[in-house]
Amino acid sequence: MKYLILNFLALFFATALFSQNDETLFSHVDRIGAFGGPIIEYADLSGDVETSTGGGGALVLNDFFIGGYGHGTSELNKSFQAENLKERVKFKHGGFWLGYVPVQHKVIHPYTSLKMGWGKARFRKSEIGNNETVDEFKDNIFVLTPEAGIELNVFSFFRISATANYRLVSGIDKLDNFSDSDFSGFGAVLTLRFGGFGSEWDID
């Protein structure tokens, strides 16, 4: 029994010594980190420029990141004095957030991302002077938003990007006098990223 155990141990260590390392999903990842922060978007909503605030977070893998985002409520208010009515349009969305940030070791570098999410759009008509609802409609929406611009490394833990985007919205069919094109359009985005971006990591 003693010799059997010794032979087994010898075979085990010999196999481990001469075997090659298996490749894994992260074998070639030289940079890994994580971040989170606020997102501020200025975009067209039915002909008016509106501000939408939100936030997101992601895992950094080399020059790419993958995570999620959520945009708070964008709101458009219009009053019609002759009819004593006020119209309000709101929409919000969230989902996946993918990004590609090359040469990020440079102080200023390119920044690109793609947001793909789902949400709701709501149209509400009420009387001026009170919040009594006259009409209300809701739609489920799909939102696709590519963006590109530049990013500045302010500190090792803080980066800020300024980008131009195009928000593509589909699914608007119940909102009175609105269509997909009223929610789609070009915009400008300010993204603040706080976290560890893996510049000092080495996991070869």
Question: Would 85 be classed as within a structural domain?
Answer: yes
Residue type, 2: K
Cα–Cα distance list, 23 to 26, 62, 204 (Å): 8, 17, 11
pLDDT given for residue 7 in this prediction: 45
Location of structure tokens 């490394």: 153
Report the pLDDT value the prediction gives residue 127, as an integer from 0 to 100: 67
Pairing of strands 64-80, 85-100: antiparallel
- Cα 160 to Cα 46, 148, 187, 190: the distances in Å are 28, 13, 17, 7
Residue 168 maps to a domain: yes
Range of the domain at 97: 31-67+75-183
Strand partners, 152: 108, 160
**Which position has the token pair 């940030």?**
101
CA dihedral sign of residues 103, 108, 112, 118: positive
Provide the pLDDT for residue 147.
98
The answer to whether residue 13 sits within a structural domain is no
Q: Rounded to an integer, what distance in angstroms lies between the CA atom of residue 149 and that of residue 109?
A: 9
Q: In a structure prediction context, what are the per-residue pLDDT tens digits for the chain, which is 204 residues long?
A: 544 444 444 444 444 444 455 555 556 678 899 999 999 999 887 777 888 899 999 999 999 999 999 998 766 665 544 456 677 788 899 999 999 999 999 999 999 999 999 999 888 877 666 666 667 888 999 999 999 999 999 999 999 999 999 999 999 988 777 889 988 999 999 999 999 998 644 444
Structural domain includes residue 25: no
Check which CATH number belongs to the domain holding 145 and give it: 2.40.160
